[in-house]
C-alpha cells in the first residue's frame, strides 16, 4: 500500500527526510563542539 510521488515511494521520501535531518543534526553538533573548543582556548 505504497503510493508513489513522481516515481518515488512515500517511504523513500520519508527515509530521505530522516537522513537529511540526521546529517543536519550532526553538522550542528560539530559546529557547536568546534565553537566551544574555540572559546575554551
Burial 7-41 (b: 16+ CB within 10 A, else e): eeeeeeeeeeeeeeeeeeeeeeeeeeeeeeeeeee
Supply the pLDDT for residue 1.
52
User: If you average pLDDT over residues 15-24, what whole number do you get?
Assistant: 92
Indicate if the pLDDT at residue 30 is higher than 80.
yes
List the domain boundaries for the chain.
4-40
pTM: 0.57
Q: Does the pLDDT at position 28 exceed 90?
A: yes
Element (H, E) at 5: strand 4-5
Amino acid at each position: 500500500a505504497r503510493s508513489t510521488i513522481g516515481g518515488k515511494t512515500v517511504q523513500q521520501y520519508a527515509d530521505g527526510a530522516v537522513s537529511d535531518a540526521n546529517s543536519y543534526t550532526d553538522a550542528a553538533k560539530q559546529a557547536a563542539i568546534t565553537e566551544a573548543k574555540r572559546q575554551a582556548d
